[in-house]
Structure 1
Amino acid sequence: MILPVVVYGHPVLRKVAEEIDEDYKGLKELIDNMWQTMYKSDGVGLAAPQIGESIRLIVIDADVLAEDFPECKGWKKVLINPIITEFGEEECNESEGCLSLPGIREDVKRPTKIKVEYEDENFELVVEELDGFIARVVQHEYDHLEGKLFVDHLSPLKKRFLKGKLAAITKGKVSVSYKIKTA
């Protein structure tokens, strides 16, 4: 089932998400719904808070980015209860967008390398060191679990320039090809 994407201004996007375990009711169906929602919305990743669920769950399929970012090739994963345990020192600016912030794209400075621990859909522990754009994608989605959005990484001046667009998103005054949910 395709779910509405929660947009800027909804309080669930500012909450720190809760950990889950294998007994979480309806988890398989929720993961399936998240995949469907992400693909219908032309997203690369989707965090559970973006569909109104304040739990530590992310789905990512970055394979569509592989032509420009080879490290994304075949990277389709479910991340349950992820924790970024290390951030590299080198940083770079890249353009980011977000299904919860439709119509906004900005350069965001992030570390180029991370180490992340998470459980897969079978609750098997996975530890990965990620480099390049896939590290950015994971950091972007991970921010959602921490109650953060990519615009939080922008300078105060940039945020002021976006104030009108953010206000419009809060009111649902955006044109998107997917269902959205406001506060």
Structure 2
Amino acid sequence: MAIIRQIAQLGRPVLRKVAAQVENHAAPEIRSLVEDMLLTVVDANGVGLAAPQVHESVQLFIIAPRPNPRYPNASEMDPIIMMNPKLLWGSEEMEKGWEGCLSIPGIRGFVPRHKSIRVAFLGADGTTREAELEGFVARIFQHEYDHLQGVVFLDRTDPRELVMEKEYLHLMMNAA
């Protein structure tokens, strides 16, 4: 039975380690981790979640955008489980966008990311897949991929472009 996992907060060493490859996608502990992460990302109002964020240093993350209180304008799609992901290509065109992180609550940053990317990964069934991602989904991939490299969004933004969550919500309400 899936459980809601505790989310590692900034300062936990697991968030700064390079994660190990998933050796066996069908291992019971990996299957259990995936189920727990699917439940945890919904419970935390996230749009993505990386295994290091739930204290597991393995190359696994979930992309799961849907409208929620943290991302009210997010598109909705079925969750994608990605194991041992690779960023194969990133567009020269970069785009800045607001990001938050479940491991860094209360802060948002204006982060530059590739506007479109090409990626490869193992799906939940162990098959290798490739995909081209754009916009918000590409941003989520890059954010979660960074977690597997021990990088957080604060490392990629100008400190002058950080705001508290409350101010971010105020900015978004006034922009609408």
Bucket of the pairwise TM-score, normalised by the shorter protein: 0.7 to 0.9
1:52 to 50, 55, 60: 55
Moved more, 89-98 or 23-32: 23-32
Shift of 1:68: 4.2
1:16 and 1:43 map into 2 onto residues whose CA distance is 22
Q: 1 CA distance for matches of 2:73 and 2:107?
A: 21
2:82 counterpart residue number = 79
Aligned to 1:20: 22
The CA deviation at 1:59 is 1.1
Indicate the SS of the match to 1:64: coil
Aligned to 1:92: 95
| Equivalent residue for 1:139, pick from 132, 142, 157 | 142
Q: What displacement does 1:36 show?
A: 1.0
Greater relative CO, 1 or 2 (CA 8 Å, sep 6+): 1
Query: Is residue 43 from structure 1 mapped to residue 58 from structure 2 by the alignment?
Result: no
Residue 6 of structure 1 corresponds to which residue in structure 2? Answer: 8
Alignment of 1:161-180 (within 5 A): none
Q: CA deviation at 1:25?
A: 4.4
Aligned-residue offset at 1:60: 1.6
Conserved 8 A contact 1:48-1:58:
yes
Alpha-carbon shift at residue 73 of structure 1 (Å) = 4.0
> Does structure 2 conserve the Cα–Cα contact (< 8 Å) formed by 1:117 and 1:127?
yes
- In structure 1, the residue matched to 2:133 is 130
Identity %: 36
Q: Distance in 1 between matches of 2:107 and 2:113?
A: 18
TM-score by length of 1: 0.80
For 1:99-141, what per-residue CA distance to the aligned partner results, in whole angstroms no more than 9, with x for missing partners?
0000001110111011110000111111001111110010000
Q: Return the letter of the residue paired with 2:85.
A: P
Large movers: runs of 4+ above 3 Å = 65-69
Q: TM-score by structure 2 length?
A: 0.83
How far apart, in 1, do the equivalents of 2:92 and 2:73 lie?
23
- Deviation track 1:61-81 (CA, whole Å, cap 9, x = no partner) reads 113389846xx4424200000
SS at match of 2:85: strand
1:12-50 deviations in Å (ceiling 9; x for gaps):
100000001225441111101011111111111100000
